[in-house]
Chains A and B, each alone.
Chain A
Amino acid sequence: MTLAPERTARPSAPPEADAGPGRTGPAIGRAVDRVDGLAKTTGTARFSAEYPIPGLTHAVLVHAPIARGRIRSIDVAQAEAHPGVVLVLTHLNAPRLTPPPTRMNPMDLSTMAAGSSIAFLNTDEVHVDGQPVAAVVAETLESAQYAASLVRVDYETITPTADFEAELPTAKAVRSMPVLPPTGGKRGDARAAYTKAPVQVDLSFTTPQHNHNALEPHATTAVWDGKKLTVYEGCQNIDWTQKFLAKRFDVPASDVHVVSKYVGGGFGGKSKVWAATLITCMAAQVAQRPVRLALTREGVYRTVGGRTPTRQRVAIGASRTGQMEALIHQATSRKGRVGGEADQIISCSLDLYDAATILAEQKIVELDLMTNTAMRAPGEAQGSFAVESAVDELAIELGLDPVELRLLNQPVDKSPVHGTRYSHRRLAQALEQGRDLFGWADRPAPGTRDGKDLVGWGVAAAIHPAWEFVANVQLTVDATGSATLACAFHEMGMGTATVVGQMVADCLGVPLERVSALYGDSDLPMGPGAGGSGQTASLAASIEKACQAMRKRLDALASKSGMPDGSDPAEVLTRAGEQSLTVEVGADTGPKAMWGQVRFLSKMVMDSRRWMKAATGAHYCEVRVDADTGELRIRRWLSVFDVGRVVNPKTTHSQLRGGIVMGLGMAMGEETLIDTRTARIMNPSLAEYHVPVHADVPHLDVHTLDDPDPQMPLGILGAGEVGIVGVGAAVANAIRHATGRRVTDLPLTLDRIVG
């Protein structure tokens, strides 16, 4: 792999060469084209369902159309008799797996890969609608598809509990867990302070369930060679996938090979090991043939977790001059009876504003629905809609400009709830720069009309915590001067493979064109998961270390040849008569790996006690609302983000834009419709689940401050998720400005806007 030559060098702002840790040079900060761009646009990039495998068979799932019950009998005779069918796998003939872990183990984070506690095809129980109860394997996909429709299942059914609103009274309190993001927090007595506050805003909000719609539906190709398993799987965590499959199939992790070179979007939906992956591996084991299973779009809705719905209350008390006296944020989410997590819905409220008192708490209900899972900014996406809408309402109540109110209540140097210091805090700058670039001073009067449309301008702030994970890397420099970084990281389209080259080039002091990266394969050193917006920063930390170690060894070699420090690596190696040099950071196995994990966790805990690190941003938008019908159009969008150092403006801005587009989907249309009588998703398709179409998305003007965070590796804060945070509120606030109506329920459909 060689890096493509730079074609569009248009960084939004030049990086400060001397700011922050690490070396900056010509590669970091350049808008370099993606290294995988050509392969993807010409169709030669091979995704997990595209590997040519000799003797391949195709599998199709049979989904239960009931949400709770038991299989009384299952008739596979007709399916088995269909021409081309190799195997019909059910709970009666599937291999017994080690049961899934029931709880997360901090010393083995791969336990988090369990999508649910259901023992797929190892039980006659049905726990969620759409649960796979059989898989048909055939020589062709068409044969498997038809045979799957011939499987007859007789169920004993139990009425499911699936109505989130109706079950709210059963909600239980959620306790914050160490290592996991916060689900609660307290500063002073917010209830008392709210009661006394002269200006009060108290609003209730709802957000619906959302489901994952990555362009590439989940797909698995499984090949057994004796006791060794190879799995081609587009995933967000190769390490978890490898270890989790090893445990379930009771084989050593070293016997499970996970190949995940290209991932067609993940957004959190590919972090866990879902039913189809397990079933594909089981089927391949029984059939003794390679098996491929690509989920249908409906299959993704039915077997992969989505984003939890929420009900939220935000109450803010303020002085007449706008100082926040009390901020109360209470949220309830749901999980499945068979698993799922509480999204950190209130986390925004812990760090957006320096309210004198803060109370944030969460509850959760359990339903007979598919477990929920991470979806881009899990928690922050829903929570920011509530808190940033309430802040806007407070500004109206106070007669203050909403930007001014936000600036007035910015924390200076410490996190209001935890007391930890901000490593750096640039939200005020983002708000101010956005205000100037958008021309906020010319904001029209509320309810201004332009022809048939009402015009509204809205603003909202965004925050997303920065995460770092373990990244083991191997760096090799050879006598031709080429550098290769090897690490099982994930390229889901965000540009990681590209920015890794830029970081190595600068940290090692070699031209970008001489750097390549090997990734997406469990045979490589263990990489960080692609989640929590933390992959690039995690890689940066290890790349810096590896490059420093490499420079030391090169300089030692150089001095033997009488050459000065920092000499050209090719020359150093050639003179020393060496073919190549390799350094490693971290270890995958043995005691070193365990110590690595301990060091990682203790650093994470220490760090979280010392520093609050987060990406922040400000969204500004203009909407048009048809005065007759309530139809909403976004006319103008501008966002300014602090994501720390911007390694590659092209890929970073693209990722931020993607976050905003996904936020617009959440704002305007996305909603999973569950029939609460049957606990069944009724709109499992892109026709009826409304993601935005091109015509819904205006030009998105994205800016970054490009200011390195002094406490993050190479100053990088991560850009994967902050883009979506606050988008819904910015739109709702613009609608309020246009129409005078405060819409507190997502999506912001025209019936809610007109009222």
Chain B
Amino acid sequence: MKPISYAVPASIDEALAAIVDLPGAKFLGGGTNLVDLMREGIETPEVLVDVTRLPLAEITETPAGGLRIGAAVRNTDLAANLAVRQRYPVLAQAVLMGASGQIRNMATVGGNLLQRTRCLYFYDAAAACNKRDLGSGCGAVAGHNRMGAILGASEHCVAVHPSDLAVALVMLDAEVEVASRTGTRRIPIQDFHRLPGESPHLDTTLAADELVTAVTLPAEPLAASSRYRKVRDRASYAFALVSVAAALEVTNGTVSQARVALGGVAHKPWRATTLEQYLAGRPATDEEFAAAARAELAQAVGTPSTEFKIELAVRTITATLRRLRDEGGAA
């Protein structure tokens, strides 16, 4: 690993100054992904600016009746928070289905959103990868891409975003609070991560001098009957082949509102807007759930290795909505 220096800012302002003033600086959260990437020679910062000791580790109520989750809240604490578990069960479930207990003890909310893809070609410094080295090509397009994208990919990149937490946040219409020396702004979570297009080296719309300070959740009664379903290759400690964050409201057998986001299928957590529009006002039947899922996946493109994920996504969405319906809105 390359020699680095390490800074511990005493305040958010100090952190925001450090990221601009120190050449090659990068914020360090729990380090569960960044340090790994540094060991692999994929990330090569000169300075690590540790933001885990800033006053960003609180979960508080918002005036609007939602929750504000500090960026430095550890995943374990987020999943254990009573308000989260009661009002946004999908979020606690998503967190608990990610990584391992040891990793969750370290990993932060901000770091989780900013983790990099686990595409095998991104992780191998000897391989071609446009995300690591724009213009070098994509080894994964015609290589081992079973974990790759089926929605929104480009010829330059088929990587998927690995976060479970972010999928739940997208379903919940969360907002990301960011700060820089020039002020603060709020980014709707759907606009936070991006599709690869011509510039797969950019994972998010976060500027280089910006720090994620919090994630806010709107008040949302529907979220109390939400669920996260993760399908993967082993029972634990594996990334999603397909995951579904969903909430459903059924009135007299008719869907009044459905909300679905997908993980493991795209360069960003995928909000299933086509599905949501299709289902609104339709009967809450297995057939309609499947039809809605198929409508969403109509635009999916598979490779010989990822083709199966299209049908798997349809089946996982259908099963998750079915279960939410059968549970009758109870969390």
Question: Which of A's residues lie within 8 Å of B, judged by CB?
Answer: 65, 142, 145-146, 149, 452, 628-631, 633, 668-669, 673, 675, 677-678, 680, 682-683, 687-688, 690, 692-696, 749-751, 754
Contacting residues, chain B, for A690 (C-beta < 8 A): 233-234, 238
Q: Could you give 11 example pairs across A and B, Cβ below 8 Å?
A: A145-B1, A628-B318, A668-B234, A675-B127, A677-B142, A680-B126, A680-B127, A695-B235, A695-B236, A751-B308, A754-B308
Q: A675: nearest residue on chain B (CB-CB)?
A: B143
Interface string of B109-127 (1 = CB under 8 A from A): 0000000001011011111
A751–B126 Cα distance when bound, in Å, is 29
Contacting residues, chain A, for B319 (C-beta < 8 A): 452, 628-629
Q: Is B300 an interface residue (CB 8 A)?
A: no
B171 CB to closest chain A CB (Å) equals 19
From known contacts A629-B315, A683-B120, A754-B312, infer whether A693 and B235 are also in contact, taking CB-CB under 8 Å. yes
Kindly identify which residue among B2, B121, B308 contacts A146, using a CB–CB cutoff of 8 Å.
B2
Q: Are B121 and A696 in contact (CB under 8 A)?
A: no
Q: Is B185 an interface residue (CB 8 A)?
A: no
From known contacts A149-B2, A682-B144, A687-B118, infer whether A692 and B126 are also in contact, taking CB-CB under 8 Å. no
Q: Are B231 and A688 in contact (CB under 8 A)?
A: no
A149 CB to closest chain B CB (Å) equals 6
Kindly identify which residue among B2, B118, B315 contacts A628, using a CB–CB cutoff of 8 Å.
B315
Q: Is B316 an interface residue (CB 8 A)?
A: yes
Question: Which of B's residues lie within 8 Å of A, judged by CB?
Answer: 1-3, 41, 118, 120-121, 123-127, 139, 142-144, 231, 233-238, 241, 308, 311-312, 315-316, 318-319
From known contacts A628-B315, A628-B319, A629-B315, infer whether A682 and B120 are also in contact, taking CB-CB under 8 Å. yes
Q: Is the interface of B mostly helix, strand, loop or mixed?
A: loop
Q: Are A631 and B231 in contact (CB under 8 A)?
A: yes
Contacting residues, chain A, for B311 (C-beta < 8 A): 754
Kindly identify which residue among B41, B120, B241, B315 contacts A688, using a CB–CB cutoff of 8 Å.
B120
The 8 A-B pairs at the shortest CB distance, nearest first, are namely: A65-B126, A695-B235, A751-B308, A628-B319, A682-B120, A695-B236, A628-B315, A673-B144
A537 CB to closest chain B CB (Å) equals 35
A678–B121 Cα distance when bound, in Å, is 12
Contacting residues, chain B, for A628 (C-beta < 8 A): 315-316, 318-319
A492–B232 Cα distance when bound, in Å, is 33
A683–B118 Cα distance when bound, in Å, is 10
Q: Are A692 and B144 in contact (CB under 8 A)?
A: no
Q: B36: nearest residue on chain A (CB-CB)?
A: A687
Contacting residues, chain A, for B143 (C-beta < 8 A): 675, 677, 682
A298 CB to closest chain B CB (Å) equals 9
A49 CB to closest chain B CB (Å) equals 18
A432–B319 Cα distance when bound, in Å, is 40
Kindly identify which residue among A146, A631, A680 contacts B3, using a CB–CB cutoff of 8 Å.
A146
B227 CB to closest chain A CB (Å) equals 14
Interface contacts beyond A149-B41, A693-B234, A694-B236: sample of 18 additional A-B pairs, CB < 8 Å, sorted by A: A142-B1, A146-B3, A149-B2, A628-B318, A629-B316, A629-B319, A633-B235, A675-B127, A682-B120, A682-B124, A682-B127, A682-B143, A682-B144, A688-B123, A690-B234, A693-B235, A695-B234, A754-B312
Q: Are B139 and A675 in contact (CB under 8 A)?
A: yes
Q: Are B316 and A146 in contact (CB under 8 A)?
A: no
A450 CB to closest chain B CB (Å) equals 15
A668–B235 Cα distance when bound, in Å, is 10
A750–B230 Cα distance when bound, in Å, is 13
A750–B126 Cα distance when bound, in Å, is 30
A683–B241 Cα distance when bound, in Å, is 16
A695–B233 Cα distance when bound, in Å, is 12
Q: Is the interface of A mostly helix, strand, loop or mixed?
A: loop
Q: Are B3 and A750 in contact (CB under 8 A)?
A: no
A630–B313 Cα distance when bound, in Å, is 12
From known contacts A628-B319, A675-B144, A683-B120, infer whether A749 and B233 are also in contact, taking CB-CB under 8 Å. yes
Q: Are A629 and B312 in contact (CB under 8 A)?
A: yes
A160–B273 Cα distance when bound, in Å, is 46
Kindly identify which residue among B127, B235, B315 contacts A696, using a CB–CB cutoff of 8 Å.
B235
A741 CB to closest chain B CB (Å) equals 14
B11 CB to closest chain A CB (Å) equals 31
B247 CB to closest chain A CB (Å) equals 19
A669–B127 Cα distance when bound, in Å, is 24
A629–B229 Cα distance when bound, in Å, is 11
Name, among B121, B125, B235, B318, the residue most crowded by chain A CB atoms within 10 Å (CB to CB).
Answer: B235
Contacting residues, chain A, for B234 (C-beta < 8 A): 668-669, 690, 692-693, 695-696
Contacting residues, chain B, for A677 (C-beta < 8 A): 142-143
A690–B120 Cα distance when bound, in Å, is 14
From known contacts A146-B1, A673-B144, infer whether A750 and B120 are also in contact, taking CB-CB under 8 Å. no
Q: Are A673 and B120 in contact (CB under 8 A)?
A: yes
B269 CB to closest chain A CB (Å) equals 19
A682–B120 Cα distance when bound, in Å, is 6
A149–B126 Cα distance when bound, in Å, is 12
Kindly identify which residue among B120, B233, B316 contacts A669, using a CB–CB cutoff of 8 Å.
B233
Q: Are A693 and B144 in contact (CB under 8 A)?
A: no
A146–B39 Cα distance when bound, in Å, is 10
Q: A630: nearest residue on chain B (CB-CB)?
A: B312
A686 CB to closest chain B CB (Å) equals 9
A695–B101 Cα distance when bound, in Å, is 13
A631 CB to closest chain B CB (Å) equals 6
B324 CB to closest chain A CB (Å) equals 14
Contacting residues, chain B, for A65 (C-beta < 8 A): 125-126
Contacting residues, chain A, for B312 (C-beta < 8 A): 629-630, 750-751, 754
A536–B231 Cα distance when bound, in Å, is 43
Contacting residues, chain A, for B316 (C-beta < 8 A): 628-629
Contacting residues, chain B, for A673 (C-beta < 8 A): 120, 144
Q: A688: nearest residue on chain B (CB-CB)?
A: B120
A680–B139 Cα distance when bound, in Å, is 12
A84 CB to closest chain B CB (Å) equals 11
A452–B320 Cα distance when bound, in Å, is 12
Contacting residues, chain B, for A669 (C-beta < 8 A): 233-234
Q: B312: nearest residue on chain A (CB-CB)?
A: A629
A294–B142 Cα distance when bound, in Å, is 34
Contacting residues, chain A, for B237 (C-beta < 8 A): 687, 693
A680–B126 Cα distance when bound, in Å, is 9
B36 CB to closest chain A CB (Å) equals 9
A561 CB to closest chain B CB (Å) equals 64
B150 CB to closest chain A CB (Å) equals 13
A65–B125 Cα distance when bound, in Å, is 9
Contacting residues, chain A, for B238 (C-beta < 8 A): 690
Contacting residues, chain B, for A145 (C-beta < 8 A): 1
A669–B139 Cα distance when bound, in Å, is 23
Q: B242: nearest residue on chain A (CB-CB)?
A: A629
A693–B2 Cα distance when bound, in Å, is 32
A749–B237 Cα distance when bound, in Å, is 15
From known contacts A146-B1, A675-B144, A677-B143, infer whether A629 and B231 are also in contact, taking CB-CB under 8 Å. yes
Contacting residues, chain B, for A751 (C-beta < 8 A): 308, 312
Contacting residues, chain B, for A682 (C-beta < 8 A): 120-121, 124, 127, 143-144
Contacting residues, chain A, for B142 (C-beta < 8 A): 677
Q: B124: nearest residue on chain A (CB-CB)?
A: A682
Contacting residues, chain A, for B308 (C-beta < 8 A): 751, 754
Q: A673: nearest residue on chain B (CB-CB)?
A: B144
A687–B124 Cα distance when bound, in Å, is 13
A633–B235 Cα distance when bound, in Å, is 8
Q: Are A680 and B2 in contact (CB under 8 A)?
A: no
Contacting residues, chain A, for B144 (C-beta < 8 A): 673, 675, 682-683
A221–B231 Cα distance when bound, in Å, is 44
Q: Are A750 and B241 in contact (CB under 8 A)?
A: yes
A682–B140 Cα distance when bound, in Å, is 10
Contacting residues, chain A, for B318 (C-beta < 8 A): 628
Contacting residues, chain A, for B1 (C-beta < 8 A): 142, 145-146
Q: A82: nearest residue on chain B (CB-CB)?
A: B3
B45 CB to closest chain A CB (Å) equals 14
